[in-house]
A and B are shown apart, each in its own frame.
Chain A
Amino acid sequence: MCRLAAITSNEYFSPIENILALESMKEGHDGSGLGLTLKDLGSDFKELKGYPILSGICSKEGAKKLDYFMEKAGFKLIDVWAPKIKPVKGITPRDHYFARVYDYPSSYKHKPMAEKENLLMNVRLALRKLGEPDESIFAFSFYPDVLTLKEVGDPLHVADFFGLDRDNLKAKIIFAQGRQNTNYVIYLYACHPFFIQGYCSMTNGENTAFVPIREFLISRGFPGYIGYNSDSEVFTHILHYTLRQLGFPLTYYKDVITPLKDSEIENREGKEALRLIKQSLRPLCIDGPNVVIGFTPDGTCFMAHDSKKLRPGVVGGAKGKFALMSEECGLDSAIPERNKSEDIFPMKYDMVIVKPRAEGVKIWNQLQG
């Protein structure tokens, strides 16, 4: 089972906290990879909040292609951050791991954020297309104040490899996933967390409804709905589609992925709307055992389960710092000093929502709306 460790705080903290939480949840062989997504970045990035950060990996050849492409696209490189790589047994280093901070092309500087988001996504997709055949470029995210790191290997070793304990890299929201690869070949684009235009999620489990969901998303005609090297990528895209494209409030994400039965809808406010949503988004209904942890552009974090709660999940902490974990020992590692009696174990109808800046937590119950 993949391990999920998300922490949200009103103060900057190191991703090593997430890694240690992952480590405490480790059972058996688990070396398929580590994915880290950091939002609301600290240290050197604090001064660069408004500028998009391109996170990825490239070869020497890929670096040239990337520079040429970005220059041609009108992006101006402002800053470059790279992890301080330490050779670790079992991890084959690639040429460049990077987070490059760019300034928008002059024609986009004063455009609305939605247009900028589309530009950034299209550039990321173009880079992906450019580098995918020979694996010379991997582009994971291109968005302001968001950084992504991914590599194959045991999470603790990968953290050591990236020098996360020695680096000053910090953020206020950090998602980490330790991937237990069981179904597919190890491929970096299959590593969680997945990110698109400010929306991010990671999952463990198996999404058995993957193919119809993938077909539905692809056929929305939105260029960002591609990839799907993992069956879990659709969770991120459903989140993006529901919230950004359709403009629904966050709680409707739960109603989309695990719709209520008609008899249960009867007791909800706005039941007619809910019934229509259930029908229209029927192909986005997930199946199989899954727990989803995600964040939205405003920094809200959430946890939701499949309709039968076939996977564990726990949220705990106090105002100022909360952790959303796939298992309780991860929570113990991340926030040991919390009041454990207030830990939240969301059930199948629940969606746990942690407010931006970790200001508080609430349980939204689907039956009551």
Chain B
Amino acid sequence: MEPATRLDHNHKLSLREFPYIIRWRDDRCTRCGRCTAICPVKAIEPTVKVQRIVTSEGPVPTPMAVRKIIHVVEQMTDMERYCTGCGTCTLVCPNDAIEPEYNPQNKFLHFKNRGGEGYKRGGRRNDPAISTLDRLKFTRISMLTDPALDAGRHEFRVRTLLGRILPADELPLKRVNGKLAVDRESGKFIPPVREIFPIMIGSMSVGALSPPMWEGLAMGVAYLNEVEGLPVVMATGEGGVPPRLLKSKYLKYFIIQIASGYFGWDEIIHAIPHMVEDPAAIEIKYGQGAKPGDGGLLMAQKVLKLIASIRGVPQFVDLASPPTHQTKYSIEEAVAKMIQSMSMAWGFRVPVYPKISGTKTARAVLNNLARNPYASALSIDGEDGGTGAAYNVSIDKMGHPIASNIRECYMDLVKQGKQNELPLIAAGGIAKKGNLAANAAALIMLGASAVSVGKYMMQATANCFGDEYNRCNLCNTGKCPRGITTQDPKLYRRLDSDKVAERVVEVFKAANVELKKIFAPMGRSTELPIGMSDGLSIDDKAMADRLEISYAC
């Protein structure tokens, strides 16, 4: 028998299956058309409908039915054009007539696999629950027994070290007239070390980010260093570095990333003889917390002229970074060689460190690096890290939370007495709820030397819509409505790089003050309280045991 789908619309999805439902108010709408024009996914359309209106005009009720053609804004029930909840329509509406509303009953993931293709998106793990980082409290307050410090008056040194640090008993020192001096004749290699602000901007590439976004971040970082005296560094992500920056004095504020696609590295290597400053560090990306075991992909439509020239590739081709480095066959040899090669390229003057995704096996990597005299740090990116493009299943389900991962790695180093030799950089989910300084301080007290922040920077400095209710998360499509993750000039001209830079400065200045407000009552000002685990508590006994901190309720 022939199915009756065409008659009863049974093949269509209802709006209840969708994550966001558009609340449109007929009475307020002026039919200007701005919302339907701007919607990045065409989830709403202007359309006409026939409406039956019953009217009665005389003194005696004489109802008359009139059929009128009216104009409405209608939400599509097509999975390819689902409303992402970004709310751009609300922003442009002159009359508050339209707003997407989250639908907690949605069955979005049941259907977002049309064509046999898994759901791909940008953003971070869709888990709006309070993270471990936000449950950590600072409970060791110096009070009347030993007065607290004054965050506004006392001097605080909120700095960390990036780079391999020699153990004191291996320092090449000699006594000269009763004083210690470096023994140049010993031939001992002294690894490069940078003193930086403990919060850094995580790797986001030129290409993944739009030109004004990347430029805004870079300008903000340069301003913080040059004017504010705050040594903030920023990682470039894989995708090269703008040629002018490579040859500028500001390169010292940037950590250049090399990943499995090696994009942009031909240009970087050729620029080395022309560099007037060394970069802050080199980050070798082996993994990303948002999508462990997954490579990168910059879609063809984002590979415009600028991006193609920076990355050294033709325009309009998909740029896929493989899931693993093709040269990597073992951590003992291949990774060590890569660290050495990178070190050698800059005459061993630049710290080189790997970045991995959070994993149960992080300690194995760590222990290998701990014995590699050229490894400068280990960056661990937890499951709550962000990405510009990945399968939803990777983002949501793969990876390891950062808190216990960083803690067990730190405690492993403590057991070996190497806690000060190999800095740990924690990333993934920091400031998920906006608590940048508190999350950073908590991770530092668990053992991180520094933290790396990406997603939050987009949200705080460029108003990225993305959140843990899967709002927007269109980074992979090149249709970012804020102009952050797009190469389309029509979209990215919405973003003012100066405004982004201003916000970067504001964010770091505020974080610097907030870190002091945390450290001052705890009586810490002279050094960053790395591993000061007695300062932390959590309201869950199992978590407290796992993190080797106290339980408080």
Q: Which residue numbers of A lie inside 8 Å of B, CB to CB?
A: 182-183, 205-206, 208-212, 215-216, 219-221, 245-246, 248-249, 252, 258-259, 261-262, 269-270, 272-274, 276-277, 279-283, 285-289, 306-308, 310, 369
**Are B532 and A209 in touch, CB under 8 angstroms?**
yes
**Would you call A262 and B146 a contact (CB within 8 A)?**
no
Contact with B146, one of A206, A220, A249, A274 (Cβ below 8 angstroms): A206
How far is B521's CA from A208's CA once the two chains are assembled, in angstroms?
10
- Chain A residues contacting B179 (CB-CB under 8 Å) are 249, 269-270, 273, 369
A127 to B527, CA, bound (A): 37
Q: What is the chain B residue whose CB lies nearest that of A257?
A: B526
Any A CB within 8 A of the CB of B522: yes
Pick from B146, B171, B420, B532: contact of A276, CB below 8 A.
Answer: B171
How long is the Cα–Cα vector from A248 to B121 in the complex, in angstroms? Answer: 57
Whether B419 lies near A272 (C-beta < 8 A) is no
Task: Please list the 9 inter-chain residue pairs (A to B) with the smallest Cβ-Cβ separation, ordered nearest first.
Answer: A208-B523, A219-B417, A206-B146, A285-B527, A280-B168, A288-B523, A212-B531, A273-B180, A182-B145
Contacts A280-B165, A283-B530, A288-B142 given: A220-B173 contact, CB under 8 Å? Answer: no
Chain A nearest CB from B535 CB (Å) reads 8
Alpha-carbon gap, A29 to B61, bound state (A)? 94
Are B180's CB and A287's CB within 8 A?
no
Question: In the complex, A283 Cα to B529 Cα: how many Å?
Answer: 9
CA separation between A249 and B178, bound complex, in Å?
7
* A-side contacts of B26, CB under 8 Å: none
A356 to B309, CA, bound (A): 71
- Residue of B168, B419, B529, B530 touching A277 (CB-CB under 8 A): B168
Cross-chain contact A272 with B527 (CB below 8 angstroms): no
| Measured CA separation A281–B180 after assembly (Å) | 15
Which of A182, A248, A280, A308 has the most B CB atoms < 10 Å from its CB?
A280
Inter-chain pairs besides A209-B529, A245-B169, A308-B154, 15 sampled, C-beta below 8 Å: A206-B145, A208-B142, A212-B419, A215-B419, A215-B531, A221-B417, A261-B157, A270-B180, A277-B173, A283-B530, A287-B525, A287-B527, A288-B146, A288-B523, A308-B526
Q: Is the CB of B524 within 8 A of A209?
A: yes
Closest to A205 in B: B146
Chain B nearest CB: distance from A178 CB in Å? 16
B228 within 8 A of A: no
Nearest to A280 among chain B residues (CB) is B168
Question: CA–CA, A182 to B419, complex, Å?
Answer: 31
* B-chain residues with CB within 8 Å of residue A249 when the two chains form the complex: 175, 178-180
Nearest CB of chain B from residue A182's CB, rounded to whole Å? 4
Chain B residue contacts of A259, Cβ below 8 A: 526-527
B447: nearest chain-A partner, CB-CB: A212
Q: Which residues of A contact B101 (CB under 8 A)?
A: none
A183 to B149, CA, bound (A): 18
| B 163-203 binary contact with A (CB < 8 Å = 1; else 0) | 00111110101011011111000000010010100000000
- Confirm or deny: B210 has a beta carbon within 8 angstroms of a beta carbon on chain A: no
Which of B140, B178, B530, B531 lies at the interface centre, i.e. has the most chain A CB atoms within 10 A of its CB?
Answer: B531
Taking CB atoms, residues of chain B closer than 8 Å to A277 are 168, 171, 173, 180
A-B contacts, 15 listed (Cβ < 8 Å): A208-B146, A208-B524, A209-B526, A212-B419, A212-B531, A219-B414, A221-B417, A249-B180, A272-B181, A276-B166, A277-B168, A280-B165, A283-B531, A287-B524, A288-B142
Contact residue among A206, A262, A273 (Cβ-Cβ distance under 8 Å from B173): A273
A210's nearest neighbour on chain B, judged by CB, is B534
Measured in the bound complex, the distance between the Cα atoms of B162 and A282 in whole Å is: 13
In the assembled complex, B78 has its CB within 8 A of some CB on chain A: no
The answer, among A215, A258, A279, for a CB contact under 8 Å with B414, is A215
CB of A280 within 8 A of CB of B182, answer no
Instruction: Give the residues in chain B near A288, CB-CB below 8 Å.
Output: 142, 146, 523-524
A contact residues around B473 at 8 Å (CB): none
Cα–Cα distance between A252 and B155 once the two chains are bound (Å): 22
Q: Do B180 and A252 touch across chains, with their CB atoms under 8 A apart?
A: yes
Query: What sequence of 0s and 1s flags, for each residue 204-242 of chain B, a beta carbon within 8 Å of any chain A beta carbon?
Result: 000000000000000000000000000000000000000
A-chain residues with CB within 8 Å of residue B193 when the two chains form the complex: 279
By CB atoms of chain A within 10 A, which of B166, B171, B418, B527 has the most?
B527
Interface residues of B in 119-157 (CB under 8 A from A): 140, 142, 145-147, 149, 154-155, 157
**B533 adjacent to chain A (CB < 8 Å):** yes
Tell me how far the C-beta of A232 lies from the nearest C-beta in chain B, rounded to whole angstroms. Answer: 12
Q: A249-B179, A273-B180 are in contact. Are A279 and B173 (CB under 8 A)?
A: no
Min Cβ gap B270→A in Å is 33
Residues of A within 8 A of B181 (CB): 270, 272-273
Contacts of A289 in B (CB 8 A): 146-147, 523
Cα A307 to Cα B525 with chains together (Å): 9
